[in-house]
Amino acid sequence: MGKEQGFYHVFEVFSRRTQDAPLQHQFSLLAPNEEIALVMAQENFMRREPVSDIWVVKRDYIRRINEEEKAALKRLDNKDYRLTRGYGDLKKRWRKYEQIVFDEKEILSWKGEIRR
Amino acid sequence: MSEKPMHFHPDGQAALVELLFQLADDDFLIAYRGSEWLGLAPHIEEDIAFSSINQDTMGHAAMYYQLLEELGLGAADELAHVRPAEERRNAVLLELPNGPGHYLREPRYDWAFTVVRHYFYTQAKRVRLESLRKSAYTPLAEVAAKIQVELHYHLLHWHTWFVQLTNAPGEARTRMIKAIQDAAADFAGVLTLGARGADMERWGLIEGEDVLTEKTIAALAPAFTEVGIEWPMLFGMKHGNGRNGEHTPDLDDALATLSEVRRAIPQAIW
């Protein structure tokens, strides 16, 4: 690269397929400035698919986590209490109660009160 | 073709056919010149973007040749590949080579000229399409509406290059100014509708060339304000009027190359 390094910059390209689709990272490209980057982005990465929005951002402007900081990403594997696995059988329970037949004997046993 | 050919009013048909050949040949030749840049554009991203534009433009030409086929003028592929230079109706500006050299041997192509030629042409094309959408020949109006969809990107692309290179300091601006002068010297050939232009207007096929020229000049004006160059300037037909079948030897070379495979085995089925 050498001399070119000052002229071309790396741009990251993001796009949405439809208006309410999530923003997706597509690719990166080389361009001298953001206008050229935008013009290149469309035909390089979204030529054969529908697209409703395009973002480009100079990679230099992105604050990335560095190698040292990646240490902060580590977690102990003891987080069961934070997980909602306990609710996993709710659907099954609902199905069970919905299937109970409310016969005469059952309703009379409530003695005028709705049993909850 | 087994189907009965489409037709327009018998007295207006000649003007319609003439107009369709101009539209088809213009797009076909500039797409061909553009395709010669494959692998040579300033950087890889542009190589892809430009190739894609050329394919779009070739597709536009194909739609016009198809309309001619439906009018009984012959098969679209034949119309594109086999007609000799003197039957071509494209503006000469669009057939001029990309620069010295050859795409296979030491190409010394001129990117500034390419940017200016494509930008000028695309603006003129946009104005024509706007007018064609109201064409009395409905199939043409429908094709124009389709092509218009892709013109937005083409314009954005060429406008960006045009303004950035012309406003860049040093060699870029000098070369762009030279390219603007070279393109202007033949731009009248793009703007003219040729000898049957008045008929085209009378039959409601397209607006008159004076109106279209005025609109094209207006469409290009904001970009010239952006780059601080006086506009409009004098347009000419330095290398001849392609609408009358006047062309340069460069067109013969281009046709020989682009039809080489087609001519090798004419009976081949594609």
Candidate CATH numbers 1.20.1260.10, 3.30.70.360, 3.30.420.40, 1.10.10.60; the one for domain B13-264 = 1.20.1260.10
What is the pLDDT averaged over residues B256-262? 91
Helix (H), strand (E) at residue B215: helix B209-227
Pick from B66, B67, B187, B204: nearest CA to B132: B204
Q: What is the pLDDT of residues A100-116, one digit of tens each?
A: 777 777 777 777 666 55
Decide: helix, strand or coil at residue B169.
coil
Residue B156 has pLDDT above 90, yes or no: yes
Instruction: Give A49 to chain B, closest Cα distance, Å.
Output: 13
**What span, in angstroms and rounded, lies between the C-alpha atoms of B87 and B192?**
17
- pLDDT recorded at residue A5: 57
Asked whether the CA dihedral A38, A42, A44, A46 is positive or negative, the reply is positive
The residue to which tokens 């996993």 are assigned: A88
| Of the candidates B13, B17, B135, the residue with the CA atom closest to the CA atom of residue B67 | B17
pLDDT of residue B268: 81
The distance of A37 to chain B (nearest Cα, Å) reads 9
Average pLDDT over residues B192-218: 97
Structure confidence by residue, pLDDT tens digits, B52-110: 999 999 999 999 999 999 999 999 999 999 999 999 999 999 999 999 988 888 899 99
> Is the pLDDT score of A85 beyond 80?
no
Q: What is the DSSP track for B103-132?
A: SSS-----HHHHHHHHHHHHHHHHHHHHHH
Residues A12-47: pLDDT tens digits? 999 999 999 999 999 999 999 999 999 999 888 888
Tell me what the mean pLDDT of segment B142-151 comes to: 96
pLDDT at residue A94, as a whole number:
85
* More confident site: A87 or B82: B82
Confidence grade of residue B169 (pLDDT, cut at 50, 70, 90): confident
The conformation of residue B220, written as its DSSP 8-state character, comes to H
Sort out which chain B residues have CB atoms less than 8 A from A36's CB and list them.
160-161, 164
Helix (H) or strand (E) holding B61: helix B44-70
Q: B160, A29: Cβ pair inside 8 Å?
A: no
Average pLDDT over chain B reads 95
Please say whether the beta carbons of A54 and A13 come within 8 A. yes
Identity at B152, one-letter amino acid code: H
Structure tokens at B135: 């064409």
Domain locations in chain A as residue ranges: 7-61
Residues of chain B with C-beta less than 8 angstroms from the C-beta of A26: none
Half-sphere exposure of A16 (CA within 13 A, CB side): 9
Choice between A51 and A80, residue whose per-residue pLDDT is larger? A51
Q: What share of chain B has pLDDT > 70, as a percent?
A: 98
pLDDT at A4: 45
In chain B, the residue whose alpha carbon lies closest to the alpha carbon of A48 is B52
Q: Tell me the average pLDDT across B170-198.
A: 97
Rounded Cα distance, B199 and B235, in Å: 23
What is A7-61's CATH superfamily?
Phenylacetic acid degradation B (3.10.20.520)
Confidence bin at A1 (pLDDT 50/70/90) = very low
Q: What is the dihedral of CA B191, B234, B29, B123, to 10 degrees?
A: -60
Question: How many residue pairs from chains A and B have C-beta atoms closer than 8 A?
Answer: 35
Domain regions of chain B by residue span = 13-264
pLDDT (0 to 100) of residue A35: 95
pLDDT confidence of A88, banded at 50, 70, 90? confident
Interval B154-170 mean pLDDT: 96
